[in-house]
Amino acid sequence: MSTDPAGELPFYYGSISRTDAEQQLKLAGMVDGLFLLRQCLRSLGGYVLSIVWNLEFHHYSVEKQLNGTYCIAGGKPHCGPAELCEFYSKDPDGLVCTLRKPCLRSPDMLVKPGVFDSLRENMLREYVKQTWNLEGDAMEQAIISQAPQLEKLIATTAHEKMPWYHGKISRQEGERRLYSGVQPDGKFLVRDRDESGTFALSMMYGKTVYHYQILQDKSGKFSMPEGTKFDTIWQLVEYLKMKNDGLVVVLGEACVNSKAAGKTPNLPSARRHGTNGYTPPPKAAASALSPAAMASLPPDRDLLPMDCDGFNPYHNPNDVKRFNIKRNLLLIDELELGSGNFGCVRKGVLKTDSGQIDVAIKVLKSDNEKLVKEEMMREAEIMHQLDNPFIVRMLGLCNAENLMLVMEMASAGPLNKFLSSNKDSVTMENIVGLMHQVSMGMKYLEDKNFVHRDLAARNVLLVNKQFAKISDFGLSKALGADDNYYKARTAGKWPLKWYAPECIKFHKFSSKSDVWSFGVTMWEAFSYGGKPYKKMKGTEVMNFLMDGHRMDSPAGCPERMYSVMNECWIYSHEERPDFMKVEESMRSYHYSISKKAKPEATAGAAEPIK
């Protein structure tokens, strides 16, 4: 899982040193304009562009700005490292020459991970496993959907893995360790200060050891006094390697703590936390927090999908995955969650060996004709084959006074209604996260060769503000192993405004036509539950599309999200991206906005502590 925006560039080497970069350029022939990109070892999220000119090496640092753009000092900002390199391949704009020839990584050479990159994967897995008791696919889905949030959670302990972190040692012991061996300026270590729970930085300069207290503000950010603030200790240290921020000198080599290697970090302390500032509707009162989650919520953090039982209800497969549910295990509430031509959906409770779970029960009207019953059985058949956190799971069928389809409960209801009635409390970032989850669910369906055929915001149900599930498989089809589309014999009551041109013209349905519907669903979501193609009739929409028109961007919708919509609405299904690609785009945008650091840059001199 690469979250590095340069990760895919063939001339990107990752975290290699300047010497290694020069070695690569030498091997590639030292022609003028030969270049490569590497991770900057000092500036967070930054890069270095190494170029050959006149048989000499030139290294330019590319800094990541607070607004997420990248630029070489004094140069123009660019939205990503790829765009920046493309620009300098046409215009030197102050560099020794244009970028003429990429120095390509050999096929067997992997991008070298940076300091935190190599720790991140293991830490994420360990954290998810310990906190939510997840493994396998469920763990992967949790990580992909929540990586930025998880990283923020674990980053607070990442320093414990760093060679410069010495744990709880006294000032004197810190000094003893720094004085032992060579004593270059900038040699440093970080230690826990005695009782206070805060950290101190001890460093060497002119053969003398200086000690600085690392401050932590009310929001938990770390800094040198009046210096730039960071979410984590390790980020602060990386920054101080580049800028002294009031220290006598920038940090140099680490005073290595030989005991640190291979140590498992402590997880943030476990504590129950209420809600995330969002008050669920009363019907969501028992909002299905799993016992593991109850015990492990650290303070002051948003609810994550994994905190809910519905993320992975199959810890004990015998418990809930029963196809035929006995009537006496089912309590049916009077409360109607919704209705359709088949009957209605009621709230209920399913008794299991390990307690009760909230369920939604699709109840078939007893006077319903055979055809509708068959339709419901087909829906059950499809749902039974699916198991993904971002798809409403069927828990079973109960054939009693009525035929009933028992499903996981998504108590915050359909996405379009939720968004239109919670406009003020739902941010764009929140919507991006939810739509990323929908793209993950759809990618799962695509992988399993199922077409949904009715993807729309009304059919995306929310468990809570942070957790979406795709529902309503009434029109869905499983494709044969060799088929990549389903051909409907006759047109039915179709949601035309969500359908791709090939569905309407040729009755052909595929994952690519679901991609089109995903674009419309995105439009609904980013317009907070707006109605697509407002006043147009379904049949008029086709002419509008054939004339090359597409819906305008919803107000305030991020540009990159509108461009994903437009890709979903590429007329020819062959050129339209698949869900693998769409999920990738959603993921990279989701990560990029969730990761933005918000340090408050203020300069000032740090006073050594006594």
Q: Which residues are catalytic?
A: 454
Find the shortest distance in angstroms from Cβ 380 to ligand AMP.
12
In the list 337, 456, 475, 565, the residue contacting ligand AMP (rule: CB under 6 A) is: 337
Per-position b or e across 400-411, b if 16+ CB within 10 A of its CB = eebbbbbbbbbb
Element (H, E) at 415: helix 415-421
Q: CB of 275: closest distance to ligand AMP in angstroms?
A: 19
Question: Any idea of the CA torsion for 487, 489, 491, 497, to the nearest 10 degrees?
Answer: 0
Other C-beta atoms closer than 10 Å to the C-beta of 515 total: 25
Nearer to ligand AMP, 88 or 444 (CB): 444
The answer to the question of residue 471 lying near ligand AMP (CB under 6 A) is yes
472 binds ligand AMP (CB under 6 A): yes
Using the rule CB under 6 A, is 409 a contact of ligand AMP?
yes
- Tokens at 559, concatenated: 């540009």
* Tokens (6 digits) for 341: 């031509």
Q: Which of 62, 398, 406, 461 binds ligand AMP (CB under 6 A)?
A: 461
Residue 59 near residue 255, CB atoms below 8 Å: no
> Of all residues in this chain, which one has the CB nearest to ligand AMP in the complex?
338
Which of these segments, 36-44, 116-124, 207-215, 404-412, binds ligand AMP (CB under 6 A)?
404-412
**In the complex, what is the shortest distance from the CB of residue 408 to ligand AMP, in angstroms, rounded to a whole number?**
6
Closest approach of ligand AMP to the CB of residue 402, in Å: 15
Residue in the block written with tokens 């593991």: 292
Instruction: Give the list of residues 6+ apart from residue 155 with CB closer than 8 angstroms, or none.
Output: 116, 231, 232, 234, 235
Binding span for ligand AMP by CB under 6 A among 189-197, 337-345, 508-516, 576-584: 337-345
List, in order, residues 6 or more apart from 92 with CB less than 8 Å away.
Answer: 98
Show the binding pattern over residues 416-455: x = contacts ligand AMP (CB under 6 A), - = does not: ----------------------------------------
CA distance 220 to 226: 15
Residue from the set 4, 63, 151, 408 that interacts with ligand AMP by CB under 6 A: 408
Does 403 interact with ligand AMP (rule: CB under 6 A)? Answer: no
Establish if 49 lies at the interface with ligand AMP (CB under 6 A). Answer: no
Secondary element (H or E) of residue 39? strand 34-39
Beta-bridged to residue 399, according to DSSP, are: 403
DSSP state of 254: B
Q: In this structure, are residues 514 and 472 in contact, taking their beta carbons and an 8 Å threshold? A: no
Task: State the minimum distance, in angstroms, from the CB of residue 287 to ligand AMP.
Answer: 12
What the block records as the tokens of 568 is 């979903």
Site string for ligand AMP, 478-517 (x = CB under 6 A): ----------------------------------------
Task: Please count the CA atoms within 13 angstroms of the CA of 205 that sit on its side-chain side.
Answer: 14
- Quick check: 364 binds ligand AMP (CB under 6 A)? no
Please identify, among the stretches 169-177, 190-198, 401-409, 495-503, the one whose residues bind ligand AMP according to the rule CB under 6 A: 401-409
410 binds ligand AMP (CB under 6 A): yes
Q: Which amino acid is residue 405, in one-letter code?
A: L
The answer to whether residue 360 forms part of the interface with ligand AMP (CB under 6 A) is: yes
Q: Is 414 in the site for ligand AMP (CB under 6 A)?
A: yes
Per residue, what are the HEC states of 189-245? EEEECCCCCCEEEEEEECCEEEEEEEEECCCCCEECCCCCCECCHHHHHHHHCCCCC
* Cβ at position 223, least distance to ligand AMP in Å: 46
Return the bridge partners of 351, or none.
356
Residue range at the interface with ligand AMP (CB under 6 A); choices 406-414, 426-434, 505-513, 593-601 = 406-414
User: Pick from 225, 223, 216, 182: which is nearest to 196 by CA?
Assistant: 216
Residues that bind ligand AMP (CB under 6 A): 337-338, 340, 345, 360, 392, 407-410, 413-414, 458, 461, 471-472
